[in-house]
Amino acid sequence: MTSKGPLRDPANRVSPKAVRLWLLEALIAFVLFLGGSLLVAGWLGGSGWSWVPGWFADNSWLLPVAVAVVTLPFLVAEPFVRYAVHRWELSGDVVYARSGYLTREWVFVPVSRIQTVDKGQGWTERLLGLATLEIRTASHAGSSTIKGLDQQVAARLAEQLAHRAEELRDDAT
Amino acid sequence: MTGPHPPSQEDGGVPVPPPDDGRPANAFGQPLPGAPLPGRAPLRLSPKVLLIHPVRMLPSLLLPLVGVLFVGGFSGRSYGWAALGVVATVAYAAIRWATFTYEIIGDRLETKRSLISRSVRTIPLERIRGVDVSMPPMHRLLRLAVLKIDTGASGGDEEAELDGVTLEEAERLKAVLLHRTARAEAHVPDLAAAAGPEERTIVSVPRKWLLYGPLSGAYLLTPFALAGGAVGLVFQWGDDLGFGQDTALSVGEWLWTHPYLLLAAALLLVVAMPFVGGLMYAVFNWDFRLKHRDGYLVAERGLINRRSVSLESGRVRGYEIVDGLAERWAGVVRAWAIVTGLGDSQTRGQLLPDVPRAVAVEVTADAIGPYRSALRAHPPVARNRRLFRAVFPWLVLAVAAAVLAWVTGHVVWWFLLVPALLLAVLGVPLGLDRYASLGHGYDGVRLAVRSGSLRRSQAVVERRAVVGWRLRQTWFQRRAGVVTLIAGVGAGKGGYSAIDVSETQGATFPAEVTPDWLRPFIQPETPPPTG
């Protein structure tokens, strides 16, 4: 998963436990998709409405199967692709982070322009001992979110960034 | 942070104004019993607003009044009710006026309202980013103004509004509020303003350029809005005005049976579009002036409601030059300032209405700073992507319509097929033009990005305003080998995109603008970018 072009990869991967986090999230999404399609299929199949084509009413189980077949590969692949893509690095007082799945993003945030650093943990992340670091500047386009960090790493990085940002503070926004 | 103030500015803010002649507000401007500090004088709005506020409340009072008159007939009793309503309105306005005070205390502005609950809003003067003085028609008649104080907070609630101060007071407040901020902010010294006189007009837009107005597409829908409003009014008030909704409905039915009348009315509205739109444009942009005053950019405009917006030069980070299709044909553009922490920037940030391009370039260069470099083209694959996106969706629709027309044999599908094909064909020049618009560049001080066709926009932003970079690549862009490069800017929209640059450009352009930030991340084998 080396990046093309003149940019090199950020040095650090996120925590390997992040794969489990993304798997868990994918599983939840899959269950939601499947449940939703089952509901719709049951509803349309049993309704006897005239605008529902006959072949569909007779074979309404096809809908959830189709949903499962289409979404499953994406959801299964997502955690592993994300683990390969998501990387971060702090050097030369600039945070360089890469993220994404189908759409990828590279973000460069100089520490001197950081306004706030937030370390957040959702319940799934707490379960796995992970944390998300949100690095905010005056612009949403210049702000970065690093997901799937080990919580100790995230805490250390947050403190380091906040400390360094204080030293480098300039008001040019 | 705070520079040395002259002593007159330092102690307790405003000098107490003389208590009479032309400013009756000050007759009441004695210290309140609760605040007996010497040298402090909470001020009230001009009592002349008492003439404005009840009139403004009249429309909401009118309907109940009309109702009372109809129910009660024209008897003494109903006149009594009506009079009571008017008196109550005036009394309410008077109480509101009497309980609202404002005061500049040291380095902050305090507004107090103690109608039922007491509320005190304190605005530190250094937080004030601009003062917006406007004169709606009635205020103008009475020589009053509405002062809006922009503090850069996101919510509209955070703004202070002084509705109804005399013109002299507005000027005085503006000077005090802006002078303090200009002093408190350690902004870049403005050489032009320092060398020249205190106030300098950068541009005064001649009246004949108002004729470009209809090209901007602004206010073009006004005739339809007016017609719709009239119809709605008839339906809403039809009962009160003596003819029921049935009458209105039967008129509608009668019109429906005479479609040519409807068509003529619609045609009339369409023909009226450029005229009414142009008229509205002229009214709003009448006598547009852009001035430099004491470290502020001041834009004044308007015929009926004269508006003056002050933007602190130290917070202006760049500008955006916008032209639509029709405007490009005529060679005119509009311009907006890119300012940090400016609420409602679409109306407040406007630097120029439609003016010839050369004038806009000259004025923005004078007011904010020039951009002296060419724009670089984006890779040819971007052209294919623009074309694909402009043509393909319509083509899909056309094919679907053709298949349906062939299968079902309905004529209806032809009505879908023909426009879809037409739009697909139009997509070719549109896509090509979108590609021609794409560009990015850097002249050592400012960077520029341009995109769009129907509304082409070129943003010019100072290098020091960039707070970060973001590269985005969708799955399709990855296959085409292009990325969207977004410069994060702590002003204006927050980010300005260069769409579909090559992967190499996506890395070398940020490295060129901010070499220190990108140097650690550029692969060693590629040669460093040359400026």
Q: Is the pLDDT of residue A1 over 70?
A: no
Residues whose CB is less than 8 angstroms from the CB of residue B74 and which lie 6 or more positions away in sequence, other chains included: none
Share of chain A above pLDDT 90, in %: 42
For residues A74 and A130, state if they share a domain: no
Min distance B6 CA to chain A CA atoms (Å): 26
What pLDDT, in 10s, does the model give residues B246-255? 776 777 777 7
Beta bridge partners of B457: B322, B451
What does the alpha-carbon distance between residue B506 and residue B498 come to, in Å, rounded to a whole number?
A: 9
Sort out which chain B residues have CB atoms less than 8 A from A91's CB and list them: 520-521
∠ Cα B5 B11 B13 (to 5°): 90
Sort out which chain A residues have CB atoms less than 8 A from B465's CB and list them: 172-173
CB A125 within 8 A of CB A160: no
What pLDDT, in 10s, does the model give residues B191-250? 444 444 478 889 999 999 998 988 888 788 888 888 888 877 776 666 665 666 677 677
Question: Is the sign of the CA dihedral A155, A156, A158, A162 positive or negative?
Answer: positive
B258 occurs within a structural domain: yes
Look at B252 and B163; give whichever has higher pLDDT.
Answer: B163
For residues A27 and A44, state if they share a domain: yes
**Domain endpoint, select from A28, A51, A83:** A83
Nearest by CB: B475 against A96, A103, A139: A103
What does the alpha-carbon distance between residue A82 and residue A76 come to, in Å, rounded to a whole number?
A: 11
B524 occurs within a structural domain: no
**Domain endpoint, select from B269, B285, B301:** B285
C-beta atoms of B468 and A91 within 8 A:
no
What pLDDT, in 10s, does the model give residues B444-486? 999 999 999 999 999 999 998 999 999 999 999 999 999 999 9
Sort out which chain B residues have CB atoms less than 8 A from A172's CB and list them: 464-465
Structure tokens at B376: 């670089």
A7 occurs within a structural domain: no
Min distance B314 CA to chain A CA atoms (Å): 10
For residues B135 and B220, state if they share a domain: no
B111 occurs within a structural domain: yes
Average pLDDT (A15-42) is 90
For residues B55 and B131, state if they share a domain: yes
Of B245, B304, B477, B23, the closest CA to residue B485 belongs to B477
For residues A91 and A141, state if they share a domain: yes
For residues B174 and B232, state if they share a domain: no
Q: What is chain B's mean pLDDT, rounded?
A: 80
pLDDT score, position B20: 37
ipTM, two decimals = 0.88
φ and ψ at B493, to 5 degrees? -80, -10
Min distance B224 CA to chain A CA atoms (Å): 37
C-beta atoms of B490 and A138 within 8 A:
yes
Q: Is the pLDDT of residue B21 over 70?
A: no
Q: pLDDT tier at B378 (50, 70, 90 boundaries)?
A: very high
Q: Provide the domain count of chain A.
A: 2
C-beta atoms of B507 and A105 within 8 A:
no
For residues B165 and B24, state if they share a domain: yes
Label residues B309-330 b or e (16+ Cβ within 10 Å = b).
Answer: bbbbbbbbbbbbbbbbeebbee
Q: Provide the domain count of chain B.
A: 3
Per-state percent for chain B, helix, strand, coil, to nearest 5: 50, 25, 25
The 10 Å Cβ neighbour count of residue B73 is: 9
Query: CA of B472: which chain A residue's CA is closest?
Result: A105
Domain span at residue A61 reads: 12-83
For residues A160 and A110, state if they share a domain: yes
What pLDDT, in 10s, does the model give residues A69-109? 988 888 889 999 999 999 999 988 899 999 999 999 999 99
Sort out which chain A residues have CB atoms less than 8 A from B528's CB and list them: none
What does the alpha-carbon distance between residue B42 and residue B59 come to, in Å, rounded to a whole number?
A: 32
- Judged by CB atoms within 8 Å, which residues 428-467 of B form the interface with A? 464-467
Q: Is the pLDDT of residue B54 over 80?
A: no
Which CATH number do you get for residue A137?
Answer: 2.30.29.210
Q: DSSP states of B425-470 as a string?
A: HHHHHHHHHHHHH-EEEE-SSEEEEEE-STEEEEEEEEGGGEEEEE
Average pLDDT (B255-272) is 84
Q: Is the pLDDT of residue A4 over 80?
A: no
Interface test with A, best of B339, B500, B521, B523 (most A CBs within 10 A): B521
pLDDT score, position B57: 74
B499 occurs within a structural domain: no
Nearest by CB: A139 against B488, B503, B514: B488
C-beta atoms of A6 and B340 within 8 A:
no
Average pLDDT (B323-334) is 91
Min distance A40 CA to chain B CA atoms (Å): 26
What does the alpha-carbon distance between residue B158 and residue B341 come to, in Å, rounded to a whole number?
A: 12
**How many CA atoms lie within 13 Å of B181's alpha carbon, on the beta-carbon side?**
29
For residues A91 and A160, state if they share a domain: yes
What pLDDT, in 10s, does the model give residues B288-323? 999 988 888 899 998 888 888 888 888 899 999 999
Query: CA of A143: which chain B residue's CA is closest?
Result: B468
Question: What one-character DSSP code corresponds to residue B529?
Answer: P
Distance of CA B468 to the CA centre of its chain: 26
